[in-house]
Structure 1
Amino acid sequence: MDKIDAASGSAIGSAIDAAPGSAIDAAPGSAPADAATAESVALPTFAGEFLALPRTAVLTTIRPDGTPHLAPVRFTFDASTGLARVTTRAGARKARHVSAGGAAARVALCQVDGFRWITLEGRAVVTDDLVRLAEAVRRYTARYRTAPPAPPDLTVMEITVDRFLSLGL
């Protein structure tokens, strides 16, 4: 049964009960620090189809003073593992914020297309592991039909999605 969020007026329910076009908020599960092995939430098919579109998103990280930092990014989402991946420079603020946050680092990634949107939330890690970076570059190239920028300090931020909210999908 759906509940109504009094502050926003959005319907909040489980991913199983939600229908396309409704707002969905899937609650987080327990998520270990390592994004590659953490549990993630399963997204409905219509959400995965929307995330496959070659769109940009806004990534929100948390600065050391607790305020949000927002940056436009390109990303990929792997439904089989529940991982969203963002390639970035090791020295970029978003990467530094996540690294400084350690195992507790949480981020949000929001893709919008008109009145349709989805926000993915989860724990994030930044790594320069060559195998994980190569997978991120492969997926990025397939989604956007071009390779990502390749600075010398290229890393990948892996986000284990443990919550999502969507509307209009």
Structure 2
Amino acid sequence: MSRASVDLASAARAFLTRPHPATFTTLRPDGTPHVTPVRFTYDATTGLARVTTRAGARKARNVDAAGPAARVALCQVDGFRWITLEGPATVTDEPSRLAEAVRRYTVRYRAAPPTPPDLAVVEIAVDRVLSLNL
């Protein structure tokens, strides 16, 4: 996956380090939205957001089913402040990429993510950002 990059104001970057959950939106094969709460990380240097999940979870299956056309959205909210990160997504269970996702999650949320046997990471190359009050 190629890395996208967007410029974020320092307030937006700081907001994305706070340990808030987000909603994660994917599209089911029939085109209807699937929205679920998740924890995620964002790497401002590469523009890559990561969501750890089970490979068999609906969100991962939706991304896989969409193939290279998969686009997703993460929306983090705190009161009247919010930020949405959008971009193309892929799912991987490649060990070094999983390790990086787990490392970043553990730093942000001060606890390791769940580690089911089919742990995978959805990687989002963020190419669009929408926000309010940041």
Q: TM-score range by the shorter chain?
A: over 0.9
Measure how far apart 1:94 and its partner are.
Answer: 0.1
TM-score (normalised: structure 1): 0.78
SS at match of 2:19: coil
- Structure richer in helix, relative to its length: 2
Runs of 4 or more consecutive aligned structure 1 residues displaced over 3 Å after TM superposition: none
SS at match of 1:159: strand
Amino acid at match of 2:8: L
Task: Report the equivalent of 2:89.
Answer: 124
In the alignment, structure 2 segments of 5+ residues that lack a partner are: none
Instruction: Report the Cα distance in structure 2 between the residues aligned to 1:145 and 1:88, rounded to whole angstroms.
Output: 17
Amino acid at match of 2:128: R
- Equivalent runs, 1:3-152 vs 2, <5 Å: 34=1, 37-152=2-117
Work out whether residues 48 and 125 of structure 2, in 8 Å CA contact, stay in contact via their aligned partners in 1.
Answer: yes
Amino acid at match of 2:23: V
1:168 aligns with 2:133: yes
Task: Report the equivalent of 1:153.
Answer: 118
In the alignment, structure 1 segments of 5+ residues that lack a partner are: 1-33
Measure how far apart 1:69 and its partner are.
Answer: 0.3
Instruction: Report the Cα distance in structure 2 between the residues aligned to 1:64 and 1:54, rounded to whole angstroms.
Output: 31
Higher Rg of the two aligned structures: 1
Amino acid at match of 1:99: D
Measure how far apart 1:43 and its partner are.
Answer: 1.5
SS at match of 1:99: helix
Aligned length: 134
SS at match of 1:41: coil
